[in-house]
Amino acid sequence: MSFHFIKDQDFPAFLSGLIKARTVVGPVAKTSRQQEKFVFARLTDPAALRLDYDVTILPPKKEFFPPKQNLLLFDGPRVTPGIEPEEKVLFGVHPYDMKALDMTDALFREKNEDRNYTAHREAATVVVSSVQKVSPRAFWASIGTEVKPKGHDAWLTKVAGGCVYEAVTAKGEALLQHGKFAAASEEQKKAARRADEEAARQCPEKLQGTSASNAKKVRAAFSREELWTKFAQDCFSCGSCNTVCPTCYCFDVQDWWHVDQNTGGRTRTWDSCLTEDFAKISLGAGAQENFREERAERFRHRFMRKAAYLNEKLGGPACVGCGRCSAACTADIADPTAVINSIPEA
């Protein structure tokens, strides 16, 4: 681990060097309905990088677990895996998203390792960037505080006159060659820590309680049907909360053919446990069974997954407080702080 400093005026050249050498993906602005939003996209112009973003529409997991991914391709009877990892630099990931990436790493790695994810993840260098602007629904400072961001290769923090760059791994160290870095002073390192603390103080929403107390009370509320029915009353079962979630990783698998009727593939796409068909099966002769038929059951399942079910495996809740679901929900009923805070203690 080593700390470095790059001056503001040297930063564009560093980025240019990086873009020339590697595929670089980072936050860029995108205007939607006259509003400035942000997305992770491939960088071609260093000036497009917006490290002052508040939150991106979709989390960076899409770089390793894309919304649509070919698992297999076929050509007649010949079947080929779709794994072709690209060595890329994911630049400017916020710390809460880094926590989420580390969780998806663990979940795709456990039991039967899914190389369709891990091969892409291993090929990447991930640079975290401290939050410079806090999004309106963020609550990352108050959830899962016992779980620290890990799995990143470097951590960049904007301070007066430049950025402190902490190289955490050899992959993070290797990026230094593309820019003009000096050793960071104690004062600069301190300033970086202060910047992180200051951003944390600005989170507009707050989750009450600890991870353990929340897991306990959410689990204990499982049978309180009236509670979940009330929470889910306005749910459209659209799955937007799942789609924007950095820790959601459920998927559907579908086969397809090219028009030649000889070649095609097997592709996975993101799926949402809030949608009606998610747990439905056919029994034959037109009969069906839906194991989570009610909106309230599906809504509850998401909260159990985020606040309780995975805690043991992940060391904390499977929610990082990005606030994307709160903002994406049409009915504005998905906000984890609003829901969890309103569940009474067990």
Partner 1 sequence: MPTTTCACGGKAAAKDVKDNIFLPKEAKIVRVEKTTEMERIFTLRLADESQMKFEPGQILEVGLMGYGEIPLGLASSPTREKTFDIVVRSVGRVSQALNRLQQGDTLLVRGPWGKGFPLENLRGHDLLIIAGGIGLCPTRSLIQYALDRRKEFKRFILFYGARDPQQQLFLADLADWRKSQDVEYHETVDRGDPTWKGNVGVITSLFSKTKIDPGTRVVICGPPIMFKFVIRELEKLGVARANIYLDLERRMKCGVGKCGHCQINDKYVCTDGPVFAFSEIEHLEEAI
- Positions touching partner 1 (CB under 8 A) are 71-72, 74, 76-81, 83-84, 107-108, 110-116, 119, 222-223, 249-257, 264, 266, 268, 271, 273, 278-285, 289, 291-292, 297, 301, 304, 308-310
Q: How far apart are CA 83 and CA 68, in angstroms?
A: 13
Q: CB of residue 81 vs partner 1: minimum separation in angstroms?
A: 5
Q: How far apart are CA 145 and CA 209, in angstroms?
A: 11
Strand 125-129 relative to strand 88-93, pairing: parallel
Smaller CB distance to partner 1: residue 10 or 114?
114
- Tokens at residue 260, please? 């030649």
Cα 66–71–79 angle (5° rounding)?
Answer: 155
Smaller CB distance to partner 1: residue 75 or 197?
75
The strand pairing partners of 7, in sequence order, are 162
Q: CB of residue 276 vs partner 1: minimum separation in angstroms?
A: 13
Asked whether 244 and 233 are in contact (CB, 8 A), the reply is no
Q: CB of residue 130 vs partner 1: minimum separation in angstroms?
A: 32
Nearest one of 8, 13, 10, 19 to 43, comparing CA atoms? 19
Smaller CB distance to partner 1: residue 84 or 186?
84
Smaller CB distance to partner 1: residue 284 or 344?
284
Q: How far apart are CA 76 and CA 223, in angstroms?
A: 51
Q: CB of residue 314 vs partner 1: minimum separation in angstroms?
A: 12
Q: CB of residue 346 vs partner 1: minimum separation in angstroms?
A: 15
Smaller CB distance to partner 1: residue 253 or 331?
253
